[in-house]
Every structure is written in structure tokens, then in C-alpha cells.
Amino acid sequence: MHHNINAEETALLSTEIELLMRERQSLLKVAGAAASLIAELHSGDLPTTTVEVADLLAESVNALAEETLQDALTSIQARISL
């Protein structure tokens, strides 16, 4: 059965895509800031529990696709000097 997408459905899809793109930008900023923070940490200066959490964060950042990580770093580049 073929179903035509009407103008209302198209508008709803467009709105949802815009929301997802804004959320992606926010998440890229978070990932970029996390990557920058991890790069600047000196684990010897941190309590053990903080190092464990930083390791978990580092693993999560390292699991990102290279292109996504680059997008994340680019998204924060204007805010910090890398």
C-alpha cells in the first residue's frame, strides 16, 4: 500500500530533523569539551576516583568515530585554544 506524505507530515518531519540537528550540535560541544578536558588532565595530580571517572570518559571519547570526534573538536575550537 502506497502512502503519500502530506504537507503536515512533511512539516513534522522537518521540525524533528531540526531538533535532532540542534541536539547533535549540543552533544558535539559536550564531546569536544570532554576530549579537551581529558587531554589537559594530569592523572598524577588527581584522586584515584577522579582518575577512574576520567578513564571512563576517555574511553567514551575514544570510541567516537574519527569524523565525529573531529566535528566535536571543531565545534568548540572558537571557545578554547587547543
Please give the model's pTM, rounded to 2 decimal places: 0.76
Q: Does residue 26 lie within any of the structural domains?
A: yes
Q: What's the domain range around 28? A: 7-76
Q: Does residue 30 lie within any of the structural domains?
A: yes
What whole-number distance in Å separates Cα of residue 65 and Cα of residue 69? Answer: 6
Q: What is the DSSP letter of 65?
A: -
Domain count, the chain: 1
Would you state the torsion angle of the CA atoms of residues 25, 50, 55, 20, taken in this order, to the nearest 10 degrees? -20
pLDDT of residue 82: 45
Tens-binned pLDDT, residue by residue, of the chain (82 aa): 456 779 899 999 999 999 999 999 999 999 999 999 998 888 888 899 999 999 999 999 999 999 999 999 999 985 655 4
pLDDT of residue 62: 92
In the Cβ-directed half-sphere of 41, how many Cα atoms lie within 13 Å? 18
pLDDT of residue 3: 64
Q: Does residue 2 lie within any of the structural domains?
A: no
Please name the residues in contact with 76: beta carbons below 8 A apart, sequence gap of 6 or more. Answer: 29, 32, 33, 36
